Structure 1
């Protein structure tokens, strides 16, 4: 029966060793070097050993300690907080319980000749480190067995362990533990073995040698950077290769790692002129004269012209503003309305056009100052006035019925004069222009509706005889 129990114990140890490769975590291995103390006293047996935990901390009377390295332990992390441990220890036994004098009632330490002590133990422990949410304090419990010899007499033991580790950093820590060893044989006393030592973790796998263990390495077979979880950035532009459209050429994040050598906002691979800053609309090529024709395709790169004429301006021989290609009188200054031919007075059609422009003039609310977008409309009116240098015009201002009649009258006059002043400032002879305000007196739509009021707020141009 005794041999059967020993075989069972050895079988348990062998099964435990066979599972050590089941998991692979960062620094799965650890080695611990330290000293141990053996105490045969407080283990619940008759004198000279005493009751359980009786004088448990009586180091001087009961603990057997070698003043040198006397314990080595190798452990392998399994999974989910479980660790396999194998420990070897050596000691000298010269204290074995207590002598009791029934006459005097005195107790003295039971001294024995120096006995040799050897222990080989294996256990599986569970760490409570994650449970208490700690990065340094690591309490644990363990259960296992081993074989202990005292002066060449040996027996198997069933062991229970309580321990505490404190990690100074990711790899180095200090450990203290107490193990209860219950012997399978009567001739080996049950006892406690305490130990303290330094422990060092090691053995993480780093296939690509980039300093990041495979478990935490998103690219375990390709050396990379910690900031990218072990993945590479070949061109060192701060964008990992897997997200870099140009992984071998340093570039910008806004272009997914591709370069823009001329800094024009068009990345080089899409830039028809990659060495010269240009426009996005022209695929990165410049347009010096701003005519919408890239300089490389522009026959007149410094003079604005249409694409239809290869970037060169159309000629206007008579200078009347009507290009020769559209001018029916190219050698005689005329008007655009008359296809480049001279005209004395504007036609009804021209006056209608002029009033379409004038009615679209926009003023600041309640003021006689123009809104910015009105400038283009006023310039168009200036062009028509210049086409008829002999004609005179009246500028008339009108308002809706909101507000007082007096205020509306004054506002209409100011707006009419504002238009006249603009035309004069842009080259129209003041003698040809008059300005007059009519306030709210001449509505052309219903002032009771928003749309009607909008139509009534207007400037009109009349041809004077």
Structure 2
């Protein structure tokens, strides 16, 4: 029987180690430490043991626990939810079931002499984590065998386990399990061994050999760099290939890894002059004269000129600052605002005509409002003003001597401004017009006569130099 026990242990260990060739890429190894408790009571034997699962959780009376780390395990994840584990555990047995008090008949804990307990076990378990679709809770069932020594006597066991792991993070979890150990020798009692501990995952597969495990490698089949989670940077410019628009040419981050040889801010692939610094607006080509025409297309590269003239300047024959192509009077110096033509001032006859109209402007008595029939007169004046768009005029208001001088002054100013406002409202630039009131100070006739006073009540238009 002793040889059978040992053969069983070897067979279980060999099965587990040979099955570990199938690898899980997500941290196939796990290391665990914890505390174990040995309970020989609830295993279906007579006194000092008891029925199966009787008082299963009676920690005080039946469980033997060492108050320090007493279990160490190493696990290898197999395929399809299977895990192989090798565990070593140590304990002291001082409680061995229950006995009846010969006097009272009451059951009390059966105390024994601190027997040394040591076990080495192998187990294949199945994880239900994927089956229940959980990312943190992992229940499992396991079967296996081992060899247990009680003091100096050892025997093989066939083991069945039930437990769960709760993963606090991707690599760290709490492991709680209970194992029934069935002995093949009479001198080693059947018993339960419970354990609780911490499990740490580690290891993995590195397909591309870049030192980063596949489960943490964003590019598991291409050797890469740790800073890029295992993805490559072929041109060594600090930008991983998947984000590099030019993965085989070292470039700049601002251009997604593409180069700018001449440093003009235009990447080479978009630069028509990649070896000569130029302007972005000209696709990287230079413009020495700053006329907006690239030097390669400029017939006058050192003299600014328009693209329509191939980069050469237009002539200005009359030197008035208006190019011949825009000059309506190319052989006569003029004004820019008159498209190169000289300013034409209205003649004295025209000014006289304006004043003839101005004399016909009629105001309401003592007011600066126009009488209805005056509108035609004012419109005729507007027409003349528009014929001379650059000429400047003064609008002068005058009164007779009737009334106070202050009243007449105010009235003349209001009437002169009324005419100016009308002209402005009808399209004449305000910059061309000024309005001045002279009151009764500049009569042109005798204020003592009715006819003279009528002549003195007037508006005059004068051409400004």
Partner of 1:177: 177
Secondary structure of 1:19's aligned partner? helix
Where in structure 2 are the equivalents of 1:128-147 lying within 5 Å?
128=129, 131=132, 133-135=134-136, 138-147=137-146
More displaced stretch, 192-201 vs 263-272: 263-272
Partner of 1:299: 300
Secondary structure of 1:15's aligned partner? helix
Partner of 1:192: 192
The alpha carbon displacement at 1:131 in A equals 4.1
Where in structure 2 are the equivalents of 1:309-458 lying within 5 Å?
311-317=311-317, 383=339, 386=341, 420=386, 424=389
Structure 1: how far apart are the matches of 2:122 and 2:85? 8
Change in Cα spacing, 1:289 to 1:119, as seen in structure 2 (3 Å) is: closer
Q: Does 1:46 align with 2:46?
A: yes
Structure 1: segments with no counterpart, 5+ residues: 327-333, 343-378, 393-408, 436-465
Structure 1: how far apart are the matches of 2:284 and 2:250? 21
Structure 2: how far apart are the matches of 1:29 and 1:62? 34
Aligned-residue CA RMSD (Å): 5.0
The alpha carbon displacement at 1:51 in A equals 2.2
Structure 2: how far apart are the matches of 1:194 and 1:382? 106
Give the TM-score, by structure 1 length. 0.59
Structure 1: how far apart are the matches of 2:323 and 2:118? 117
Partner of 1:284: 285
Structure 1: how far apart are the matches of 2:32 and 2:331? 107
Partner of 2:359: none
Q: 1:253-282 CA distances to partner (integer Å, 9 max, x unpaired)?
A: 5x4322457776532444316664414345
The alpha carbon displacement at 1:314 in A equals 4.5
Contact 1:94-1:112 at 8 Å conserved across structures = yes
The alpha carbon displacement at 1:62 in A equals 2.0
Change in Cα spacing, 1:160 to 1:335, as seen in structure 2 (3 Å) is: closer
Where in structure 2 are the equivalents of 1:5-404 lying within 5 Å?
11=11, 14-66=14-66, 69-79=69-79, 81-101=81-101, 104-113=104-113, 114=115, 116-126=117-127, 128=129, 131=132, 133-135=134-136, 138-149=137-148, 150=150, 151-165=152-166, 167=168, 169-183=169-183, 188-206=188-206, 212-220=212-220, 221-226=222-227, 228-233=228-233, 239-247=239-247, 248-253=249-254, 255-260=255-260, 266-271=266-271, 272=273, 276-281=277-282, 283-286=284-287, 288-294=289-295, 297-299=298-300, 301-305=302-306, 311-317=311-317, 383=339, 386=341
The alpha carbon displacement at 1:41 in A equals 0.3
Structure 2: how far apart are the matches of 1:13 and 1:231? 39
Structure 2: how far apart are the matches of 1:187 and 1:418? 135
Contact 1:121-1:146 at 8 Å conserved across structures = yes
The alpha carbon displacement at 1:57 in A equals 3.1
Change in Cα spacing, 1:44 to 1:284, as seen in structure 2 (3 Å) is: farther
Q: 1:403-440 CA distances to partner (integer Å, 9 max, x unpaired)?
A: xxxxxx99xx89x979948x82xxx6689xxx9xxxxx
Structure 1: how far apart are the matches of 2:162 and 2:385? 101
Contact 1:225-1:233 at 8 Å conserved across structures = no
